[in-house]
Amino acid sequence: MSIVACASPAPVQQVETWQDPVTGMEFVLVPAGDFVMGLRDGEVDVRAAPSHTVQVTRPFYLGRFEVTQAQWQQVMGTNPSQLTDCGPSCPVESVSWADVHEFLRRLSELNAGERFRLPTEAEWEYACRAGGEARYGELDTLSPTLANYDSRIPFEGVADTVFMGSTLAVGSYPPNAFGLHDLLGNVWEWTEDEYCPYSISLAVDPVQSCGADTIPIRGGSWYFSAGAARCGRRYTHARGVSGFSLGFRVLREVKADGGTV
């Protein structure tokens, strides 16, 4: 099922792309840059996310879409998803952080010379914001025409009547300014680093490690509210646990000289 909005949140920039020849997975080049990470003034949450400046000094390729059930099946030979009725173009879910790392290992073996991994929490949020400073990147409010979330759950007193009751095929909603789809809603997305307190000063290419078993997951899902889908909103999951609204997207690294790893 495809949901068509009246317009994209912001004009999509002309982007460089790459396609994995094995799975057909599409990647978009995300440029280096600075941004303010975290929740904005007045935004509160049970998991602290104080705003601070982050420098992303290296460009990277990020999956245009969340990894689909068909792509997981092609690499792993199985489909762990609970929502299989949604179809092969829907995001894979019910995968743990360890499961995802095995997928990434096998994907790298299938693509000699390439390095694939999960985005760090900072890289994920940078991609979500796509140069915007609002709650949802370019927008301060979210509508059911722009993302798959449970709009019946009030967020700051605002609610709607739309609840799809499941994941939807990737790309059912408009892309952000970087050309990336479904960073808001559909499924939560695993990140690479551990759930740790933010630095209160400038952070350069942060990769968080503090001995925590919990991993940040980002973006909200079809099962959660608009509040969960905010770019700066942090949520966590134990790395060995999976769920029917938790998936991921892949990052392809770029060498310092502009080539791929």
Q: What is the pLDDT of residue 9?
A: 58
The residue to which tokens 């949020």 are assigned: 125
Q: What is the pLDDT of residue 27?
A: 98
Q: Order across the sheet with 26-30: list the strands.
A: 17-19, 26-30, 60-63, 251-252, 116-117
SS (H, E, C) the chain: CCCCCCCCCCCCCCCCEEECCCCCCEEEEECCEEEEECCCCCCCCCCCCCCEEEEECCCEEEECCCCEHHHHHHHHCCCCCCCHHHCCCCECCCCCHHHHHHHHHHHHHHCCCCCEECCCHHHHHHHHHCCCCECCECCCCCCCCCCECCCCCCECCECCCCCCCCCCCCCCCCCCCCCCCCCCECCEEECCCCCCCCCCCCEECCCCCCCCCEEEEECCCCCCCHHHHCCCCCEEEECCCCCCCEECCCEECECCCCCEC
Question: Residue 33 forms beta bridges with which residues?
Answer: 56
Q: What is the pLDDT of residue 3?
A: 38
Q: What is the pLDDT of residue 257?
A: 58
Q: What is the pLDDT of residue 138?
A: 92
How many Å apart are CA 126 and CA 34, to the nearest integer? Answer: 8
How many Å apart are CA 188 and CA 248, to the nearest integer? Answer: 7
How many Å apart are CA 189 and CA 216, to the nearest integer? Answer: 9
Please give the model's pTM, rounded to 2 decimal places: 0.93
Q: What is the pLDDT of residue 11?
A: 64
How many residues in total does the chain contain?
Answer: 261
Q: Order across the sheet with 52-56: list the strands.
A: 33-37, 52-56, 203-204
Q: What is the pLDDT of residue 45?
A: 87
pLDDT tens track, the chain, 261 positions: 333 333 445 666 678 999 999 999 999 999 999 999 999 877 878 898 999 999 999 999 999 999 999 999 999 999 999 999 999 999 999 999 999 999 999 999 999 999 999 999 999 999 999 999 999 999 999 999 999 999 999 998 999 999 999 999 999 999 999 999 999 999 999 999 999 999 888 999 999 999 999 999 999 999 999 999 999 999 999 999 999 999 999 999 997 655 555
